[in-house]
Amino acid sequence: MRTLRLIPKFKAHIWGWIDTMSSIKIENLFAAYDKADVLMDVSLEVFSGKITCLLGSNGAGKSTLIRSILGLTPPRSGRILVDNKDITNIATHKVVAEGIACIPEGRKMFPKLTVTENLRLGAFQVSNEALIRERLDKVFTSFPRLAERRDQLAGTMSGGEQAMVSIGRGLMGGPRILLIDEPSLGLSPLYVKENFKIIEGIRNSGITVFLVEQNVRQTLAIADYGYVLSGGHVVAQGTADELKENEDVYAAYFG
């Protein structure tokens, strides 16, 4: 029997950010909460137009790194560069203005707002209504399921549909770099598979993707390059193919 396609194929071509250079460099980053050191001398690069992944088990420090990039958990030392511009410690709204958007862990959204209202919030820094409408149209073309349900309260959508809202909202800001925190969390295997296809489509449209995940196998199937974080340290890095063969990757989870 044919598997039901729950999430339609992401139509990458209509976003058209191809050719924009957009990379992030993290240099010797240390971050901590009170006295607990979480990130220790982390250096990595998120490559322009690629999917770079950060793998690691619970508590490795993955979300903290995203929070540091967004200016929410300021690092104790080290630098964060976007296209060689130092954005370390700048305010979150300025990070967003640099073209960086985040799809947070757990698909956080406003359950009492409609799908359209949730999507519009992703463009809160855009004052041009015509541009907002154009991006809404693009999201609805990419996700026909959301178009059908545009007036439905987001909280009444299924988990997989909420994942689409969350990704769509991330795209509404017109980012050139998308940070995605554990998109597979709490989704059924079928939705995880479809969700990862969508992320590949986003990369193919020219948006740089930094994908933070625990799901090693499926992440390495779509990533170009990756890092493994364990106990706040980068313990392995390489192309996705190299990491698939690297025992340190699995030791970071089970060692």
Ligand X SMILES: Nc1ncnc2c1ncn2[C@@H]1O[C@H](COP(=O)(O)OP(=O)(O)OP(=O)(O)O)[C@@H](O)[C@H]1O
Q: Which one of 52-60, 114-122, 153-161, 234-242 is the stretch in contact with ligand X (CB under 6 A)?
A: 52-60
- For ligand X, the closer of residues 16 and 255 by Cβ is 255
Q: Which one of 55-63, 88-96, 113-121, 124-132 is the stretch in contact with ligand X (CB under 6 A)?
A: 55-63
Taking a C-beta distance cutoff of 8 angstroms, is the pair 191, 159 a contact? yes
Distances (CA, A) of 132 to 42, 61, 92, 164, 232: 37, 34, 21, 18, 39
Structure-token pair, residue 59: 């508590």
Taking a C-beta distance cutoff of 8 angstroms, is the pair 103, 170 a contact? yes
CB of 32 to ligand X, least distance (A): 9
- For ligand X, the closer of residues 4 and 36 by Cβ is 36
Asked whether position 144 contacts ligand X by CB under 6 A, the answer is: no
Q: Which one of 51-59, 139-147, 149-157, 193-201 is the stretch in contact with ligand X (CB under 6 A)?
A: 51-59
Asked whether position 59 contacts ligand X by CB under 6 A, the answer is: yes
CB atoms within 10 A of CB 220: 21
CB of 214 to ligand X, least distance (A): 6
Asked whether position 195 contacts ligand X by CB under 6 A, the answer is: no
CB of 59 to ligand X, least distance (A): 4
48, 52, 63, 114: which one contacts ligand X (CB under 6 A)? 63
The three-class DSSP label of residue 164 is helix
- For ligand X, the closer of residues 201 and 232 by Cβ is 232
CB of 55 to ligand X, least distance (A): 10
How buried is 90 (Cβ within 10 angstroms: 0-12 exposed, 13-18 middle, 19+ buried)? middle
Taking a C-beta distance cutoff of 8 angstroms, is the pair 59, 77 a contact? no
Q: Residues near 110 by Cβ (< 8 Å), separated by ≥ 6?
A: 117, 118, 121, 154, 155
Asked whether position 33 contacts ligand X by CB under 6 A, the answer is: yes
49, 51, 52, 62: which one contacts ligand X (CB under 6 A)? 62
Residue 101 CA to residue 91 CA, distance in Å, equals 14
Asked whether position 183 contacts ligand X by CB under 6 A, the answer is: no
Taking a C-beta distance cutoff of 8 angstroms, is the pair 231, 200 a contact? no
2, 3, 35, 36: which one contacts ligand X (CB under 6 A)? 36
Positions touching ligand X (CB under 6 A) are 33, 36, 38, 56, 58-64, 214
